[in-house]
Structure 1
Amino acid sequence: MPAEGTRMAGLWEREVGRLRPKRFADSVRASEDFVNSLGIQKRLQEHRGCVNTISFNSTGSLLLSGSDDRTVVLWDWERAKPALQIHTGHENNVLHAQFMPLSDDRSIVTCGADGEVRYVQIEEGGRAVVDQVVETEYAVHRLAVEPGSPHTFYSAGQDGSVWRFDLRGKQSKELFKVGVIYDDGVNDALDLYAVAVDPRNPYRVAVSGSDEFVRLYDTRKYLHGDFGCPIEYFCPPGLITKNEDGITGLAFSQTGEILASYSCDNIYLFEREHGLHFNDFKVGVLPLFGDGVGAALPLYKDKLPEPQSFVGHHNKQTVKGVNFLGPNCDYVASGSDCGHVFIWRKKDGELMRAMKGDKRIVNCVEQHPSEIVVASSGIATDVKIWAPGDCDPSMIDFDEDDADTFMFSSMSDDDSDISDLMDDFIFAPPGSGSSDGDDDAEDTDDDDDDEGDEEEDEEGVTSDGDSGDEDDEGGGGAEDMNDDD
């Protein structure tokens, strides 16, 4: 019998019936072997613009993607074939798309840079009926589906508004607008980039945007007309009152921890004890700050506990998500401006891998609900499927994503200590020369600009992937964070 606690011991226990298959699979997905064994095995190619959103269905049999080409694709990812492509009717980039739970994968919600939230119903035979649920004047960046509900979801928009939707009667309600904390005399509402629902308590909704605070709300107060403040705020002590950062991605763990990806800083893991209200910090009350904003900050920096941070990636050029990996949220994963997928160990923040996943920028990283499979997407027009094993050489020989020098263009001198974890060989296998990196970095994804546009039924299905005129650079305009550069 193999030594107890080893991977071989787990295999032996599974083979003799002492370890159930699901428990064995979970133990593998939680192991460092899982992280170290990942390689690109498939590329899903159908979109004609940046892929801004990806998500698996509850069983993991389908992968949903949405793009700047204004379509969503349901993928049979194991065969690397689209099962269905749907024109959403959005007039601009699709920024987020989600399956609704318990809908037999026939109910999808989307939001876009045109300010619209749309509802897609897939009928027998593959016909898609698309309805507009709400239209606002500003981009709607993210949706959050209520766990276990086939009807209820939330949206967060660039005008600071948080909406709640109930598909049973196609009802929509603006719950509240998130205001700025430190008035600059220009804006009174916050640009929102992320929204997430606590899986343990669907009434607890977190939002974040163009300042340094994660806000946690109890939506029952708003549903009953009590328009109060957030029940909690989270922010690393060193960023309080700086008002020079934003948060592009949020994720809840199974135990209620909150991951927040800062646009000019690191990723942080917040637990209950990091809450500013929990620590008697009165957010936005100027007398706390003495003779000037931030004057009393050192006092609170000493008193407030520091959250776990995850360091090494860059998140300035686009709106990036953040996610947990592993059956027990054992790891943290994010894309980066340098085109890598970063994976850290959650318990201590150690960087485990930095895997080359895009010629330019990776924005999304999602894990399969039960298998050792991860999907990623970004500025390129395809979706990469990662699984254990060496990279398939045919997957490395990208078309528009050939080897270049961009992978280090966003790295600072302070990041030199992580370069050993960079998997350059995924895009540049040994013996392959680097082409002119400067020229490649300026390439666009609009390879189809000269193609004729075909008429499409906004409530129908497109079979050829042609979704009309493309935006420059393959899209990404509404998700661009370069205004502060």
Structure 2
Amino acid sequence: MIVVEGSGLVRRIGLAGKLIGHEDWVNTIEFNRCGDCLVSGSDDRRVMLWNVASKALVLSYDSGHARNVLQARIMPFINDTVIVTSGGDGQVRLGQVTDNGNLQTIELGKHNGHVHKLAVEPGSPHMFYSCGEDGFVQRVSFFGPDSEHVMSGSDYGHIFVWKKKDGRVIRIMEGNKCIVNQVEPHPNIPVFASSGLEKDITLWAPVSDNIPPLVHELLHIMESSRQTRDNVSRLRLRPEVLMDVFRPNRRQ
């Protein structure tokens, strides 16, 4: 883990745990509205629900998708009993825990291609939107009590945090050995989760005041990027340039 500059909680964030259960790459993670549970979906076509505090697996089921699960969302205000998913097979599906404790999945609709994004209507337990390949935009996440930071994964296995106001990189963390394709902030506390081309989900939280100084890691990352992108020449970059340089690629 390395740091460029920063203060407060962002400086203290470190590895807080792993959620281990999937058998292939994890494509999607999201906290529920209260932040005590996290849902994940994977190339193994399974959906898993986790207790964040205990890191225990609460629920695991076959999504019913014929290809990888690209998005999973917990519908709000119904006790985390309904999860909607989308996948590489174009399907949009619903998984629901019934009153007798069983779980059933049904297909709600189908796109002509990969469905990369689901968005829940704020405040509604019954309405959400899906977006297929014709409208895909790579995701970044906002972090902090006033959303003053922007976070993104990268092709280099690192998580980047920079100030939204001026685009300064303030933190770089080693996410995994390969690509980090999603970072998901907790809705209430300074915690976030990340996933990528690994089977595990990583939890991050303020855990230490012992932050090592920047040595050669950032220079190595920037030099690797500079080989293919001529406009990466210094640490202080415009936000739109940072978005372009560190945009992660998903495996479809």
For residue 226 of structure 2, what is the aligned residue in structure 1? Answer: 412
Q: How far is the alpha carbon of 1:127 from its aligned partner?
A: 2.2
Residues 409 and 130 (structure 1), Cα distance of their counterparts in 2 relative to 1, 3 Å cut? farther
Q: Residue 114 of structure 2 aligns with which residue?
A: 139
Indicate the SS of the match to 1:104: coil
Taking structure 1 as the reference length, the TM-score comes to: 0.43
Map 1:90-169 → 2, pairs under 5 A: 90-124=65-99, 126-158=101-133
Structure 1 residues 83 and 407, CA gap change in structure 2 (3 angstroms): farther
Shift of 1:372: 1.8
Q: Equivalent residue for 1:388?
A: 206
| Map 1:356-435 → 2, pairs under 5 A | 356-390=174-208, 410-412=224-226, 417-418=234-235
- Alpha-carbon offset, residue 122 of structure 1: 1.4
Large movers: runs of 4+ above 6 Å: 406-409
8 A Cα contact 1:375 1:385, kept in partner: yes
Shift of 1:61: 0.6
Structure number with higher relative contact order (C-alpha < 8 Å, ≥ 6 residues apart): 2
More strand by share: 2
Deviation (angstroms), 1:410: 4.8
Alpha-carbon spacing, 1:93–1:342, altered in 2? closer, same or farther (3 Å):
same
State the Cα RMSD in Å: 2.1
1:209-288 alignment to 2 at 5 Å?
248-249=137-138
The one-letter amino acid of 1:192's match is G
Deviation at 1:477, TM superposition (A): 3.8
Change (3 A) 1:142 1:332: same
Deviation at 1:136, TM superposition (A): 2.9
- Which AA in structure 1 matches 2:111? T
In structure 1, runs of 5+ residues without a counterpart are 1-30, 159-190, 194-247, 250-320, 392-405, 419-475, 479-485
Unaligned runs of 5+ in 2: 1-5, 210-219, 236-249
How much has 1:416 moved relative to structure 2?
Answer: 7.1
CA contact (8 A) 1:337 1:410 kept: no
CA distance in 1, matches of 2:143, 2:100: 35
**2:166 is the alignment partner of 1:348:** yes
| Structure 1 CA distance for aligned equivalents of residues 35 and 190 of structure 2 | 11
- Structure 2 distance, partners of 1:88, 1:351, is 38
Deviation for aligned residue 1:123: 2.4
Change (3 A) 1:416 1:382: farther
User: Given the two structures, how large is their TM-score scaled by the length of structure 2?
Assistant: 0.81
Residue identity opposite 2:126 in structure 1: H
Task: Provide the C-alpha distance between the structure 2 equivalents of 1:407 and 1:50, rounded to a whole number of angstroms.
Answer: 23
Alpha-carbon spacing, 1:78–1:348, altered in 2? closer, same or farther (3 Å):
same
